[in-house]
Amino acid sequence: MKITEYGIKDRQLQKEGHAQKASAEQKEYEQASGHKRITENNTVIAKHQGSRLLEKILERDNMNLAYLLEHGIYAKTPQGVPQGGPLSPLLSNIMLNELDKEITRRGHEFIRYADDCVILCKSRKSAERTLENLLPFIERKLFLKVNQEKTKLAHISQIKYLGYALYRSKGKYKLRIHPKSIAKMKGKVRVLTARSNGWSNKGRKDKINQFVRGWVQYFRLADMKGMLREIDKWVRNRIRLIYWKQWKRIRTRFEKLKQFGIEAREAWKFANTRKGLWRTVHSPILSKSLGNKEIASLGYMTMTDYYLKVCEN
C-alpha cells in the first residue's frame, strides 16, 4: 500500500473518533527473524511454491548472514536478513502478516508500513489494554523483539508517522509535516547549497530540483503552503549567496550585476560593498539583481510552485 493510501485511511479513522493510539515498532526485526519462521510458519508462504525460492535466497552466503555493526566492527549473525536490503520490507510484511490478522480479529483499526505500526483506539484505557495484550503476542508467538523505547501511548496529534503529523482544525484532523522532518529537509538543503562542494551551477541546480520534486511528492498530502513559501525564501537566499561568492572580484561583480539589469553607477557601488556575505544577500544588492524571477529564469524550481501542481488537498 502506498503512503497516500495510508494518509487517507488515517484521516478517515479520525472522523470515526479514534483519537488514541498504541504504537509499536518491531526492534531489530532484521536481526531477530528466523529463516525457517519466515518460510515455514507463515501460512501465506507455506502454501505457495515461492517459499522454496525465498528459502534459497535466504540461504545464500551474502543473504543469510546479516551484518551488525557493533563498536565499529562488522560481525556475522546466523539468522536474520540484511538490514536496509530490498528484501527486508517484503520479509517484514510476511512476518507481520499474522500480527495484522490478530489486530483485525480484536476489532481494532490500525496502520502498518513495514515494521512501523500504529493502532488506533477510542480511549487511553483501550490503548493501554491493547498494547498490554499485543506485546506478548509479538514476542512469544512471532518471536520478535519490540523496541520499548519507540513503543508508547499518545494522543494522535502527538505522534510522528512516516514523517507526517496531525493537527486539528475546525473539528477535523489534517496532515502536516512533523518538525523533525522539516529539520531534516533543511539539513539536506544546506548540503545541496554548500559553497565548498565543488559542483557546477548546472549540477547543483539539477540536484536541488531533483530533491524538490522527490520531497514534495512524498509530503504532498500535507497542508504546507505557508511553510513552503518561507522555505523557498530561505533557499533563494542561499542560492544568491552562492552566486555572490562566485563573483569574487569587484570587476566580476560589476559585470554580472549589469547583466542582471542594474545600472552601471549602481552596479559599481554594489560591487564595492564591504558588507558581509549573508548581510549582502538580504540587501537590495542581490534582491534587485537576483530577484525571484531571475532565479527562476536560471532553472531553479520552487517547492511552492511544484506543490501546487501535485497537491492532493
3-state secondary structure 185-228: HHHHHHHHCCCCCCCCHHHHHHHHHHHHHHHHHHCCCCCCHHHH
- Residues 208, 301: contact at Cβ < 8 Å? yes
Percentage of residues in the chain having pLDDT higher than 70: 72
Mean pLDDT, the chain, rounded, equals: 77
Which has the minimum average pLDDT: 43-52, 175-184, 283-292?
43-52
Which has the minimum average pLDDT: 83-97, 161-175, 212-226, 229-243?
83-97
- Residues 26, 113: contact at Cβ < 8 Å? no
pLDDT band at 251 (very low <50, low <70, confident <90, very high): very high
Give the Cα separation of 23 and 150 in Å (integer): 8
CA distances from 171 to 15, 244, 261 (A): 9, 48, 51
Residue 231's pLDDT is 95
C-alpha cell at 264: 552601471
C-alpha cell at 74: 562488522
pLDDT band at 6 (very low <50, low <70, confident <90, very high): very low
pLDDT band at 240 (very low <50, low <70, confident <90, very high): very high
Which has the minimum average pLDDT: 23-27, 56-60, 246-250, 294-298?
23-27
pLDDT, mean of residues 142-151:
82
Give the Cα separation of 25 and 150 in Å (integer): 6
Give the helix ranges, DSSP H, for 60-118: 61-64, 88-95, 97-105
Residue 202's pLDDT is 93
Residue 159's pLDDT is 85
- Residues 25, 147: contact at Cβ < 8 Å? yes
pLDDT at 66 over 70: no
pLDDT at 108 over 60: yes
pLDDT, mean of residues 175-180:
92
Which has the minimum average pLDDT: 86-100, 169-183, 232-246, 269-283?
86-100
Q: Quote the pTM value.
A: 0.73
Which amino acid is located at 65 in the chain? L
Grid cell 523533525 in the structure block, residue? 180
pLDDT band at 52 (very low <50, low <70, confident <90, very high): low
E runs forming strands in the chain = 20-27, 66-70, 73-77, 109-113, 116-121, 145-146, 152-155, 164-169, 172-177
Grid cell 557546477 in the structure block, residue? 200
pLDDT, mean of residues 246-266:
88
pLDDT band at 195 (very low <50, low <70, confident <90, very high): confident
Residue 76's pLDDT is 55
pLDDT band at 62 (very low <50, low <70, confident <90, very high): very low
What is the helix, strand, coil percentage profile of the chain, to 5?
Answer: 55, 15, 30
